[in-house]
Amino acid sequence: MSVAVAGRLCAVYPWESPGGWHLLGRTPVRLFDAAAAEPALLRAGDELEWLAMSRGFQGTAAALAAGDFHLSQRAPAGTLAGIGVDFNDGNPLKPDFGAFTLAPEPDDAHTSATGDRFRVIARSGLRLREGPGTQFDIVGMLSAGQVVFVTSVADGWAKVDVEGDGQIDGFASAGFLEKLT
């Protein structure tokens, strides 16, 4: 089972399937078993937390001392809903630990088959929505400086392809996007 994020949202893919979210890794915990009396381990409303790197890893002490971390593992480990967990402390100076971006493309790649490249210029990032307007649900976050592909702009809303793969990921306010030349 794969664990994935899009902005501040998290999803678990219970079986191999296509998806547009950023995969973080796999979990050995069986979260869904169709043959079980209770097929889903988790229920609507359950909350999970990412597990941070252990304080025992090389470089962790220096990162903590410098404030260069997003989540810090707090000992001792415990149990939550029958699952062994280690609890974490978030760094208040770096609260957004769920936004991931793609590595920038070479400067000579200005367009893709899906549109022109744009950079997010909103200082605190930009919401990615299901449709062209604030009445649509937020489906993710674009980080400040993130480069995305815009296939079209209408009524101040840009149709955004985050990965340049031809799949539309959502809509963002075009006023906070700067076209790259």
Q: Please give the sequence-ordered ranges of beta strands (E in DSSP) within the chain, or none if there are none.
A: 2-6, 9-13, 22-26, 71-80, 83-90, 111-112, 115-120, 126-129, 138-142, 147-154, 157-161, 170-173, 177-179
Looking at the structure, do residues 86 and 125 belong to the same domain, yes or no? no
Please report whether residue 105 resides in a domain. Answer: no
Residue at 106 is within a domain: no
In a domain, 102, yes or no: no
Residues 30 and 36: beta-carbon distance below 8 Å: no
User: Whole-angstrom Cα distance, residue 34 to residue 84?
Assistant: 23
Is residue 82 located within the same domain as residue 151?
no
Q: Which residue has the higher pLDDT, 96 or 162?
A: 162
pTM for this model (two decimals): 0.41
Distance CA(139)–CA(35), nearest Å, equals 32
51: buried, middle or exposed (CB in 10 Å: 19+, 13-18, 0-12)? middle
SS3 175: helix
φ/ψ (deg, to 5) at 105 = -85, 160
pLDDT bucket at 132, cuts 50 / 70 / 90: very high
Q: Check whether residue 26 and residue 82 sit in a common domain.
A: yes
The pLDDT value given to residue 158: 95
Report CA 75 to chain centroid distance, whole Å.
26
Task: Provide the CATH number for the domain around residue 119.
Answer: 2.30.30.40
DSSP 176: G
d(CA 24, CA 122): 26
81 plus 133 within the same structural domain: no
How confident is the model over 156-161, as a mean pLDDT? 94
Q: Residue 135: which domain range?
A: 111-179
Residues 6+ apart with CB under 8 A from 58: none
What residues pair up with 10 in beta bridges, in sequence order?
5
Percent of the chain with pLDDT over 90: 27
pLDDT higher for 58 or 94?
A: 94
Q: Find the mean pLDDT for residues 86-104.
A: 56
| 3-state SS class at 179 | strand
Name the band, by pLDDT with cuts 50, 70 and 90, for residue 6.
Answer: confident
* One domain for residues 82 and 139: no
Confidence (pLDDT) at 26: 60
In a domain, 126, yes or no: yes
**Per-residue model confidence (pLDDT) at position 111:** 41
Regarding whether 158 and 85 lie in a shared domain, the answer is: no
Closest CA to 102 of 23, 179, 16, 159: 23
Mean pLDDT of 22-46: 74
pLDDT at residue 102, as a whole number: 40
Number of domains in the chain: 2
Least confident of 41-50, 103-112, 144-153, 171-180: 103-112
* Helices and strands, number each (H, E), in the chain: 1, 13
Pair 5, 98: CB distance under 8 Å: yes
Q: In the predicted model, what is the mean pLDDT of the chain? A: 75
